[in-house]
A and B are shown apart, each in its own frame.
Chain A
Amino acid sequence: MLKYILILFFLSLSFRSSGQESKLSEAVVSIAEELAADDSDPEAASTYIERLYELSEDKVKLNSSGEEELSRLFFLSDFQVKALADYVHSSGRINSVFELANIPGFDKETAGMMIPFITLDNKTTMNSDSAHWRNTSVTNLTCKPGNDDSSSSGSPWKILTKYKFTSGSFSGGMTAEKDPGEKFISGNTALPDFFSASLEYNGSGIVRRIIVGDYSARFGQGTNINTGIRSALSLTSPGYMSASNEVKPYTSADENNFFRGAAAEFSIKNLSVSLFYSKNRVDATLGSSSGSSNNYIENFYTTGLHNTRALEMKKDVVSELAYGTNLSYNFNNLRIGMTWSENRFSLPVNRSENNAEKLFDFEGDRNSLFSLYYNSLIKRILFFGEYSAGRNNKHAIVQGVSLRPSDRLTINFLIRNYDAGYSSFHGKGPGNSSSGNEHGILGNFSFEAAKHLFLSAGCDISSFPWLKYSCNSPSWGRKQEVRLKYLPVPELTIDAAFNYRLSIADDPEANGIPGQKRLITKSLKGSVKYSINDDLILGTRIDYKYAEPSGSRGMLMQQEVNYHFRQIPLTLWIRYCLFSTDDWDSRIYSYENDLLYSFSIPSLSGAGSRSYIMAKWEVNDIAEMRIKYGITTIIRGANLSENNDEIKVQFRIMF
């Protein structure tokens, strides 16, 4: 009975509340695509998209001129943040978004990217208007009709509901989620499969922030603590993504990588101090020694899916205690800081003795890390770096430099070195790995080659001194990308990119000791976006991919239409996509518009089509509804095809 009352309560939040329409442009998805394109982890796109949605609802006040406020535009480089702050300081205020493109370090493309996330109103959050309660509620329901697995313990629907309120200096919220096949109420407590809540106080004095409940944190370059976005360079990004320290309420649905407890931020002049304490339960696979009842952790289970009895057994079986502190001090052009953190688990982690790949993996029930970091802007050169050390005397070093010789050229270099055995349970530094065993160097440049024509290119070389998954010997990899962007008129964007990826893996066909083989993919991507008028946007994309050594090819062609009706409050997104790939190696990823706080990046392999239609209906000033239907058809032979469809529904209300 209780669970039905809870379900009704969460759903009723959506229907009861109301709000104003948030202007969320197509830019959200295009930015997320760009930022996440270089990350092999598709969850990264989810994080980016979520941050962008949050930003669109809590816009950055450009005329506040505070660098801290401006750095919330996390996709800008430190150069751009500083240039923006200097411009506001010298000119008094920005009166029009059209001014942005004329600020040194900015161009029309960047200015367009910022528009959905900024406001020219410089009122602070402490004004009398915002002292009123503001409530936002979003509920997403997702179902794949053909995927009703009888072995699952719950319904095939995925349910995500979020609620947030703000009143003056206080804000709070909660997130509840169940994945397909999970019970909505599971475990010993009468709570949804995943439930998260927090309460936040924001101050302007010594006490800057206090959070009770669930929160995320990031300090320095993130090699020690970073439960949010990886702050780094992508292969062709124009600059180093701002890596400001941050402690914020947790609003994501990732069920494992967050803190639960309390955190506080204090500021005295140029000195900032953060303290955090967390006691959380995490998922793991347990083992026990023969002849002994003592349990140990075989590995941590991080997918968050508990749709079978066996997976339910992994849920919340380990208690994790995490605490630490961060200090940072701002000089004129230099910021230095240090972070210390410690993790304690209720059970020890035992690595498998028969698996050489895990020789350097973490072992024991306690881990602590200490980090020093800095960030210095000297004229047109930005230096940044971080050094972290663990109790086992393993290190992580990140050192980067970003140069801007002219307003049309940016050059970046980044070196990273993570020892095999360096372990950070809540860290996410630059590079591909957060668990050590990686050395790498990245270089890129971004150049405005001519008016409206942007050229960028980058190369990342990484080496793995010890064994890793599917590679039983030391290995290396290389990523290269060249990108050309042309914006001849504001209504038209033409984008072309060539991407090269090389990695090493075991060759299973070799006899005896496994040999190595080079896995290479080369892909060519072209896309055009054209806004015919304020109501109609067309997008076309063509992809070609070639994979070695299999020699397989993949091709994709898609057309997208976005139309906003003037007479009725309805917006439509329609995509029609055809693809043909020889095998899984030449699969192609295609990002899709989706519900708010949701994402869809289907990996397309085989031959077939992928289509979707999504409608947004603004019911009135306070409520919005979105419905998406998508279908993937794979051709299995003559007159034989396999179809997978899904339907998603969202209710969103602000009041």
Chain B
Amino acid sequence: MSSLLKISVSAIFLFFSLTASAGDLYRPSAGAGEAGTGYVCIMKKGFWSSFQNQASLADNGSLSFGFNYENRFGISELGTRTAGITIPAGKSSIGAVYSHFGYAGFKRDMTGLACGLRLSDKINAGVQVDYFMEKTPGEDYNNQSVTFETGLILMPAENTRIGIHIFNPVPNSIRKSYLPSTLRIGVGTDLNKLLFAGVEAEMSSGSNLTIRTGFEYEAAKNFWLRGGFSTENSSFSFGLGYIVKTVRIDLGFRTHEQLGVTSSVSLIFNIP
């Protein structure tokens, strides 16, 4: 492959991964349920949400594991495969997540080990250590980096949750890294027993502010409908979820102004 072609392919993949990701391109697009609400999830309880804000891990009361597949714009080379597991341990829970994006020529892998802890009735805190590896066409070596992310869940009222999450907050002057820093803040509330709504703001270093809003509605027992909107690329989202015994199945779809639809599916197994 000529140098020019390698550079072009790299640029296209970087562009796609940047424009179609839920904000920070290094955060794995995990969870079809979360995709359905437009990734308004850092304050929300849930298996995948726990890897978006590790403070939520403390709310996971059972052993669970799950798989997720996201297909961006129907292009298999832009697929993301993710697997995760959470293990409860008293007032805390631990979790592990692995994500793979791309194909043989261009890939990005992430492995994370997380812990969430209930500090009080109103506060959860969590932290995750991440290892990133990125391979781009034409490069003989892989970009690697280790960093961490941390989050808080605040519960000022019974039906309201505030999520705060910071990814890679270490300034570049202290530790050189190609990873961006990201700050996410969101608030969500159960408007009634069936309807959840939330809003979230996110900003990454070098990027513009993104505002997202989304909802989840329990239309029937164990059946959810979801929707959302993000100011990034004016993206709309929708999805649905269903629980069969101990298995949860979610589907999520996100639109892009020019590039089409990104679809995702996830399976979560709960072991009581």
Contacts and interface: CB of A to CB of B under 8 A. Distances in A.
A628 to B, nearest CB: 15
Contact of B203 (A532, A555, A633, A645): A555
B169 A576 contact: yes
B122 A555 contact: no
A352 interface: no
B131 to A, nearest CB: 19
B201 A643 contact: no
Interface stretch (B26-34, B170-178, B264-272): B170-178
B90 interface: no
Contacts of A491: 156
* Most B CB within 10 A of own CB, among A530, A532, A558, A645: A532
Contacts of B178: 639
B171 A611 contact: yes
A540 B206 contact: no
A580 B209 contact: yes
Given A538-B154, A557-B209, A559-B183, A580 B169 contact: no
A580 B173 contact: no
Interface in B203-224: 203-209
Top 5 A-B pairs, shortest CB-CB distance: A643-B173, A555-B209, A557-B203, A578-B203, A607-B206
A646 B152 CA distance: 28
Interface in B181-211: 181-183, 185, 201-209
Contact of A555 (B123, B156, B181, B208): B208
Contacts of A530: 154, 156, 162
A578 B172 CA distance: 13
Interface in A134-180: none
A483 interface: no
Contacts, number: 76
A344 B122 CA distance: 65
14 contacts: A491-B156, A530-B156, A532-B122, A532-B154, A538-B164, A555-B208, A557-B201, A557-B203, A559-B185, A578-B203, A607-B207, A608-B205, A608-B206, A643-B171
A540 B165 CA distance: 12
B75 to A, nearest CB: 25
B35 interface: no
B160 to A, nearest CB: 11
A609 B122 contact: no
Contacts of A536: 123
Interface residues of B, number: 26
B171 A578 contact: no
Contact of B185 (A489, A532, A540): A540
Contacts of B173: 631, 633, 641, 643, 645
Contacts of B181: 578, 609
Contacts of A608: 205-206
B164 A540 contact: yes
Nearest to B166: A576
Interface residues of A, number: 30
Contacts of A542: 185, 201, 209
Interface in A522-572: 530, 532, 536, 538, 540, 542, 544, 553, 555-559
A639 B134 CA distance: 15
B206 A635 contact: yes
Interface in A77-125: none
A44 interface: no
A607 B206 CA distance: 5
A492 interface: yes
Contacts of B156: 489, 491-492, 530, 532
A643 B205 contact: no
Given A555-B203, A557-B209, 5 more contacts: A491-B156, A557-B185, A576-B166, A580-B203, A645-B173
A283 to B, nearest CB: 36
Nearest to A574: B169
A576 B209 CA distance: 15
Contacts of B185: 540, 542, 557, 559
A362 B257 CA distance: 61
A580 B181 CA distance: 13
Interface in A485-544: 489, 491-492, 530, 532, 536, 538, 540, 542, 544
A633 B206 CA distance: 11
Nearest to A580: B208
A633 B176 CA distance: 12
A631 B169 CA distance: 12
B171 A559 contact: no
Contacts of A559: 164, 166, 183, 185
Contacts of A492: 156
A492 B156 CA distance: 9
A461 to B, nearest CB: 31
Given A530-B162, A532-B123, A611 B205 contact: no
A556 B156 CA distance: 25
Contacts of A553: 208
A145 to B, nearest CB: 11
A607 B180 CA distance: 12
B207 A580 contact: yes
B138 to A, nearest CB: 16
Contacts of B164: 538, 540, 559
